[in-house]
Amino acid sequence: MIRRMADRLGHIGHSSQLRDYPDALHPLSSPTSSQSAVSSYLSQSSYDHRGSISTQATSMSEWSSAGTDNKRGGFSMDSDMDIIEEDRSLTRPKLVRRPRGVYRLSDFIIQRTLGTGSFGRVHLVRSKHNLRFYAIKVLNKERVVKMKQVEHTNNEQRMLECVQHSFIINLWGYFQDTANLYMVMDFVPGGELFTLLRRSNRFPDPVAKFYAAEVALALNHLHGLGIIYRDLKPENVLLNADGHIKVADFGFAKAVDTTTWTLCGTPDYLAPEVIGQQRYNKSVDWYALGILIYEMLFGLPPYHQAETNHLILYDRIQAGPAKVAFPPAAFSDQAKDLIMKLMEGDPSKRFGNMRHGAADVFAHGWFREVDWARLEAREITAPYLPRITGDGDASAFDKYPEDDVSATYGLPTPDLNGSLFPDFEYTAIS
């Protein structure tokens, strides 16, 4: 992928640490006072998983190897802005659904819980038929309806059903019973990029470049299908057993012909036009890529503040990146230039949204060494390989009390909400 990067990173492939980059374990190799502050701040437990917000209520972005709702930073139904309903009058591009299997709950052996959230939990399961491991997201229908997440839940299912890409999580099937929705997806054993970043404090330039390039390929694929992702952040980028990424959590993804205007996403990653309640397009994802690159290289997003005050944060975002600090120990000139062009406040001048589209991003000097074809074919050794002992190893995920909840799945209950999820077939019991 990146010239000499295979040589520099390839021999790290079977390690679970970024050992060839000792400075990756510290905020910056030559700390200034501001850089030392990053180290001090990251050493505190307060900077943890960030919840997403939406004018329609809370986010589906809550499935975490590390998290309880409290650890996620909470899921406030307040957006600090007026509520704006999604414009349903817009013409949406027609997506082609992939063939899918018909699954039943009885097809799987539930192994353990991988994550919990407001709507239910995610389980590691094993198929009785092919013996492969999967992750099943179980959503309680009553809670989804109560928290006004019906549209986001249906969107996630419909978007993933139409997407197939090396760097995007696979949805294999979905079904419902009287109480719950079930989504059968890839089991991605390496956990979150967020966890690796917090453990390292920051990534060296070649490592950040590797992950950013794979994310860029995933975004470009989604945009080619007319899908805006809308919730890019390290928490939603998972690491496969081979170290390559899988973008997950499509609760805010939406198929759009031109523009949309719902306020949703993660506050640190919101583009100024989203905050300004203006119509926006796929360029908000390229903006978020700029934020992601900054966070990977520095350890904190550019507008981050210790106090959780979204109004102050939004003011900073709308003021633009001109006053954002780019310490030279963390940012090369090329990296700074790309980040500034992705974080451009005027969407018409933002990289990824101009005449040449994503080609401007791929051709930028920071990505000069990238062999995009080889990268997309996963022919480049990843800079970090999770320590996985074998298929079904879930050691990257925290352990949760099982509470025997899986014994309740499939039991008949009153069903007042099944009609709200028309694509989820009733195959869970039979």
Assess contact for 219 and 171: CB atoms under 8 A: no
Q: Count how many residues are written for the chain.
A: 430
Residue 231 appears among annotated catalytic residues: yes
| Helix, strand, coil percentages for the chain (3-state, nearest 5) | 35, 15, 55
Shortest CA distance to 86 belongs to which of 118, 57, 51, 50? Answer: 57
HSE (side-chain half, CA atoms, 13 Å) at 232: 30
Whether the CA torsion 132, 140, 171, 362 is positive or negative: it is: negative
- In angstroms, the CA 354 to CA 261 distance is 20
Q: Name residue 206's beta-bridge partners.
A: none
> Where are the strands (E) in 277-393, listed by range?
none
> Strand 53-54's sheet: what is its strand order?
57-58, 53-54, 264-265
For the sheet containing 108-116, what is the strand order? 108-116, 120-127, 133-140, 180-186, 171-176
Residues with Cβ within 8 Å of 250's Cβ and at least 6 positions away in sequence, in order, are 60, 155, 156, 159, 160, 163, 229
Does 146 carry a binding-site annotation?
A: yes
Within 13 Å of residue 396, how many CA atoms lie on the same side as its CB? 28
In the numeric block, the tokens 């001109």 are attached to: 322
98: number of CA atoms within 13 Å, CB side?
A: 16
**Cα 189 from Cα 248, distance rounded (Å):** 13
User: Of the residues 177, 231, 268, 360, which is catalytic?
Assistant: 231
3-state SS assignment for residue 85:
coil
DSSP 218-287: HHHHHHHTTEE----SGGGEEE-TTS-EEE---TT-EE-SS-B---EE-GGG--HHHHTT--B-THHHHH
φ, ψ for residue 124, nearest 5 deg: -80, 130
Cite the annotated binding site for ATP by residue number: 146
Cite the annotated binding site by residue number: 146
Catalytic residues: 231
